[in-house]
A and B are shown apart, each in its own frame.
Chain A
Amino acid sequence: MHVIPTKNPIQFEREQFRRNSEFPELWDCLDQVKDPEIPALSLWDIGILKDIKRLGDQASVTITPTYSGCPAMDAIAEDITIAFKEHGIEKTVIITELSPAWTTDWMTDKGRNQLRDYGIAPPNDLVGDHEQPLNSDSRVLCPQCGSADTKLLSEYGSTACKALFQCNSCLESFDLFKHI
């Protein structure tokens, strides 16, 4: 039988994992917790939320850092603990898992759209091969006007995970969330 894939297999696997969890209400609860650096994105949508387990009034949450030096991780751990308190969970243990290393491929489609609406180009808006490093010929669709007539200003933007571009059509500068 031929199957036409309609969904990215990585996304499908993540969704399956979440669907099979014994604690759907806790996953839903963490949809309220956003990345402090990019408040448009929930932990799930950015792809750093890996597992949730609960035993009575205790829970453990497994997250994976985006960039190893990401200063948001501590704030994220705190936000998770606070969100769970409202669900009667007194103690939350945050487990940081390094392997497998986070990749932008784990970002959900919804997350990518939200990122674009927020004014940051998601990794897949880079025109051409995403695996290739950025250079002066790199073009990214402008999240403001959609033009591909853009230029790289700096390989590092406001945070390590982004690069700075400028659109030649609408002249706005914008960040690209780099593929990693």
Chain B
Amino acid sequence: MTSSTETVSKQDIIDYSARLGDDAIVIGHRLSEWVSRAPFIEEDVALGNVALDFFGHARMYYTHAAQLSNEQNGTDDITEDDFAYLRDERQFQNHLLHELHKGDFAYTTARQLLIDVYNKYFLEQLEKSNDETLAAIAVKASKETKYHCRRSKDWTLRLGDGSSESHKRMQLALNDIWGYSHELFELDDLEQRLVDAGIAVDCTLLKADWLKEVTAIIEEATLTVPDQEWAVRGGRQGYHTEHLGHLLTEMQFVHRSFPGAKW
């Protein structure tokens, strides 16, 4: 990585950190929807804990974005909450895969496998970022992601190589979401600038390892990697599926109804 940061503005890093926060908070919220609805109590607790890890990651990314915003504007009152609760749908720039509805348990499992394995490779690279805070967040999040990956893999094997019904549902889920995975490995101008400055991860380089690992797990689970050619993209530009608006409505309701409330 080069150390040139001349072409990168502070706003670029704010936007990038907020994007990573968006990914984390949106998938965290989706997972939290399973609390009290999981197949059994231990899994209920596990999903709640994994969701909490993602909220923790979101808080770190948003806090970083908020601190940089304060430095940029000469203010001291921008906080993580402004990013989480006071931005609208078009301002969120999470990958679409994260916002898709919770679906059945197979759907959640399939999506989580793709995301957890992606995060493993993504965070490994982010640890090398020239932005010290992003690198520190990555080291922290990496440790937790190893546990997430194991959980997702175990469930994929259990459901894929399970009953005919669980096998069928897992395959349907993979077919449904596969087209949303391509966007994870694409860079726009903002991220390209940050990659050149050694700050962002060049996610185009992650695809080979990701595909290899995900394929091995899917095949071990007696499932088939979908071969459809369709792809949906737009999350990083703020173009979302119908699902995000509903999620934000629920997530932001309390904060918007009682501005500045504390407990």
Contact = CB atoms under 8 A, between A and B. Distances in A.
A101 B52 contact: no
A99 interface: yes
Interface in A120-158: 133-134, 153-158
A151 to B, nearest CB: 13
Interface stretch (B7-15, B143-151, B179-187, B249-257): B143-151
B257 to A, nearest CB: 22
Interface of B: 42-43, 45-46, 49-50, 52-57, 59-60, 132-133, 135-137, 139-141, 143-144, 146-147, 150-151
Interface string A88-111: 000000000011111000000000
A155 B139 contact: no
Nearest to A153: B42
Contacts of A155: 46, 147, 150-151
Given A101-B139, A160-B52, A160-B53, A67 B144 contact: yes
A69 interface: yes
Contact of A158 (B45, B55, B56): B45
B156 to A, nearest CB: 15
Contact of B143 (A71, A99, A154, A180): A180
B247 to A, nearest CB: 18
Contacts of A159: 49
B227 to A, nearest CB: 31
Instruction: Tell me whether chain A's interface is mostly helix, strand or loop, or mixed.
Output: loop
A155 B42 CA distance: 9
A63 interface: no
Contacts of A98: 60, 133, 136-137, 139-140
A164 interface: yes
Given A98-B133, A156-B42, A69 B140 contact: no
Contacts of A99: 132, 135-136, 139-140
A65 B56 contact: yes
Given A67-B56, A98-B60, A99-B132, A156 B50 contact: yes
Contacts of B140: 65, 68, 98-99, 101-102
22 contacts: A67-B52, A68-B53, A68-B140, A69-B52, A69-B56, A69-B57, A70-B52, A71-B52, A98-B133, A98-B136, A98-B137, A98-B139, A98-B140, A99-B140, A101-B136, A101-B143, A153-B42, A155-B147, A156-B46, A159-B49, A160-B49, A164-B45
B151 A157 contact: no
- Range class of the A interface residue count: 20 to 34
A68 B147 contact: no
Interface of A: 65, 67-71, 98-102, 133-134, 153-160, 164, 178, 180
Contacts of A102: 140
A100 B137 CA distance: 10
What are the 7 A-B residue pairs with the smallest beta carbon separation, nearest first?
A: A69-B56, A68-B56, A99-B136, A154-B42, A156-B46, A69-B52, A160-B49
Nearest to A178: B147
B49 to A, nearest CB: 4
B198 to A, nearest CB: 17
B46 A154 contact: yes
A155 B46 CA distance: 7
Nearest to A136: B154
A154 B45 contact: yes
Contacts of A101: 136, 139-140, 143
